[in-house]
Amino acid sequence: MKDLLVGDIGGTNARFALWRDNQLHAVQVFATADYTSPEQAIEAYLGAQGIARGGLAAVCLAVAGPVDGDEFRFTNNHWRLSRRAFCQTLQVEHLQLINDFSAMALGMTRLRDGEFRQVCAGEADASRPALVIGPGTGLGVGSLLRLGEQRWLALPGEGGHVDLPVGNAREAAIQQQMHRQIGHVSAETVLSGGGLVRLYQAMCALDGDSPRHASPAQITDAALGGEPRALAVVEQFCRFLGRVAGNNVLTLGARGGVYIVGGVIPRFTELFLRSGFAASFADKGCMSEYFNGVPVWLVTAEFSGLLGAGVALQQTLEH
């Protein structure tokens, strides 16, 4: 019997695994810079697993960007992919491309104990959408709908590019400071790795301070070390995330819960859990009570995108 392969391809790394018995097997991570194409990287993976060309029945790859048409150009690395050429080269019968954040959303259906932390207590309503939001290189926003027993639909969108919401005079001043520098201020302008640096620079400018840090890692390290300025920036980052997540919950009716994913928040998990995120999340005036009982989780699972690709492939092959 031929194997099923799943992949989650980012700007720096490509993760591959075999999908067997509804689970990931033999996960390996490859640096995209070391290979000229996804086909070359996958052949290296198959070689390591002792699988010959032609040994795959189907492949599902999670990729950043729209997935229509035969040609796909990766937005954050040098790879390109032609569906037709891919299938011919690897002798694959079926190739499925899925938006990377759709895969991330579907991965939430396979979380295990120890792979998430509770941020806000509540009981998820399985009949309502769930929100998946993730500050990372950018800000990913998607929704997850339960269609029935073991059937799910992930709806990707561009919710990271909505206007940055403000809730008080200080936040309005931060937004205006950024607007003077770059023009339109989206949620992603702040809620991303690079956004943390922009937020730090804006807050320093407002308070007449000279910036001392130039990277997200330096800011988070300083915050973890107790530096007041860096702590204030991280706190404001968490509050902005709460406002954006809360807006999306109201728009979607996402009483199925909120999953916070991405690489930024796990850098300062304990600070996040003690932050004003929850207060800002529900700070919606006459609609604040709507958030009573909406659960929020911080996801720490390592391979959610890969798992989601597996779920997508399995659903496709079963129907």
- Which residues make up each annotated binding site? 7-12
Q: Which residues pair with 25 in a beta bridge?
A: 18
Measured CA to CA, the distance from residue 178 to residue 18 in angstroms comes to 45
Could you list the residues known to form a binding site for ATP, using ranges.
Answer: 7-12
Amino acid making up residue 8: D
Question: Tokens 């109201």 identify what position?
Answer: 250
Instruction: Return the bridge partners of 19, or none.
Output: 24
Q: How many residues does the chain have?
A: 319
Q: What is the DSSP string of 121-163?
A: -----TTS-EEEEEESSSEEEEEEEEEETTEEEEEE--GGGSB
Cα dist. 299→63, 70, 111, 137 in Å?
Answer: 20, 33, 8, 17
Dist. CA 39–CA 147, nearest whole Å: 33
How far apart CA 141 and CA 159 sit, in angstroms, is 5
Judged on CB neighbours under 10 Å (0-12, 13-18, 19+), 226 is exposed
d(CA 109, CA 104): 10
C-alpha triplet 63, 307, 133: angle, nearest 5°: 65
Q: Is the distance from CB of 261 to CB of 140 less than 8 angstroms?
A: yes
Q: At what angle do helices 228-252 and 216-224 cross, to 10 degrees?
A: 110
CA distances from 5 to 18, 200, 266, 269 (A): 5, 42, 28, 32
